[in-house]
Amino acid sequence: MFKQFNPKNLILAALVLVLIATGCGSPTATPKPVTAPPATAAPAGTEVNMWTYYGDTGPAAACVKTAGEDFNAAQSQYVLKIRNLAFTDFNQQVTTAIAGGVTPDLMIVDNPDNAKYAAAGALADLTDYVKAWGQGDQFLPGPWNSTLWDGKNYGIPLGSNTVVLWINTDMATAAGLDINKPPTTWDEFETWAAKMTDKGKGVYGTALLAKKDETGTFLFLPWVLQNGGTLATLDSPESVAALAFWKDLVDKGYAPKTAITDGFAEIYTQFTTGKAGMMISGTWNVNSIPKDAPNLKWKVALLPYAKKPASSLGGENWAMFASSKQKDGAWAFLKFVTDPAYGTKLTDCMGYIPSRKDVLAQVAAKSANDPTMLVFLKQMESAEARGPLPNWPEVSAYIQEAIQEGLTGQKSPADAMKAAAAAIASLLPQ
C-alpha cells in the first residue's frame, strides 16, 4: 500500500499539512499572564521539579527519566527532579496543588488541557522566553497552537501521536485470516474479532479501551467521526451507531467486559500475552513490545472505518507553572529537551512524532523503509484534535459517562448519547 510513497518528501509534507489542519485554535478569553522575569544566576544544583501523568501509562516514564538524566549530566546549574503521577488522578492533583500554591515548576500536560490551565491563570506566560529564544517558528502550527491562549504562549509541544490497529499475526493466521488484507471496515473488524475469539480459553478477538478518563474519549471519538458523526451531533444516528457497535463487540464476547476499566496498560498486557488478538493503540508500543514480548509476531494497520477514515490526534505539551520558583531552570530544561541537537532521542523512545519541523525531518529520513512508521504517518492524515475547548475536560467527562452507561446497559446507546449531547450543548461554541 505504501510502496508508491516518496518517504523523505511526502511524509514530511503530509504531516505538516495534517497537523496544520487539526491544530488547536487560540481561544479568546484573557487569563492572568505571568511574564518571564529577568534571568538571574542560580546556585549550583538548584532543584527544578516536574510532574508527569506517566505513573500508569507504560514506558513513557522511563523515557522522560532518561531525558532528565541527560539534562542533569549536560550542565551543573540545575537538577531536574521528576514525579510520575497516575493519569487518572493527575488533573485532580494538579488542581489541588494550584489551589494550595504548591505547584512544581513544570508539568507534562495533555494538549487538550493546556487551554484550561492557561485560562485559569495557572501557567506561566512564556511569550518573552520564546521571543528571546527565537525558535518558536520551528514548530508545526497544529501542536504549537495548542500552547496558545489569547495570543500568548503557555507551553512548548513535546510531540504528537495517533492510534492504529495492532494485530497478532500468529493468532490471525491460525484463525484463517489473511494478514496481508487487514480489516478495513467495521464489518470486517467484527469478523476478525469473532474468528480470533476463543471463549473457552479466555481469549478475545480484540481488546477495547473504554476507561472512564480521557483515554476513553481519545479511543472512542474516532469511531463517531468514522461514521459521519461529530462532537456537536452526539445524538445523531451516526454517532449512536458507534457506541452500539462497541456494545455489540462486548455483548458478543469479542471484547472483554473489563473494557470499561481497561486503560492502555491493560490492553497492552492483553495483547502482548496473547489474550487479545487485536488492540487499538499508539506509537509508544513500537519500542516496548520487542522488549516485553520478543516472541510476539505483530503488525499494524490503518483503523477500519464505516464511512471515512478517522483517528485521534494526541500528544503532550511542556508547561511551566505561574507559581514556579525556578522559571529560568525550567526554561533551561525546555530548551535542552526540544533542541534539534537532542534530536529524536525522547520522541523515539516514547514512540512519538516530533512537533518540530527540523526534528521531524530526522524522523522522515530514518523512516523511509519502516513499514510500521509509514502506517502511523498515513493514519496521521485522518487524525483529528479533541476540542480545542478551554472546558474540554467537562465535555470529555460527559462522553465518558455515555460510554460507560452504554456498555454496561445502564442506558441504551441512543439514550446515553442523547444525554451526553444535551449536557455538552451549552459548552460548545454557539
Is the model's pLDDT at 146 over the cut of 90?
no
26: phi > 0 → left, psi -120 to 50 → alpha, else beta; which?
beta
The DSSP H or E segment spanning 265 is helix 264-272
Helices 237-251 and 186-196 sit at what angle, rounded to 10 degrees? 10
Residue 152: φ, ψ to 5°: -110, 160
Sheet holding 78-84, edge to edge: 78-84, 46-52, 106-110, 314-320, 156-161
Q: How far is CA 91 from the centre of its chain?
A: 15
The DSSP H or E segment spanning 267 is helix 264-272
Is 319 in a helix, a strand, or coil?
A: strand
Nearest Cα to 220, choosing from 232, 204, 234, 205? Answer: 234
Q: Which are the contacts of 217, defined by CB distance < 8 A and separation ≥ 6?
A: 386, 396, 399, 400, 403
Asked if 312 and 218 count as a contact pair (C-beta separation under 8 A), the reply is: yes
pTM, whole model, 2 decimals?
0.75
Please state, rounded to an integer, the average pLDDT across all residues of the chain. 89
Average pLDDT of 322-328? 97
pLDDT at 24: 38
pLDDT tens digits for 100-136?
999 999 999 988 889 889 989 999 999 999 999 999 9
- Which three cell numbers mark 215? 483515554
Residue type, 430: Q
pLDDT tens digits for 379-411?
888 888 887 778 888 999 999 999 999 999 999
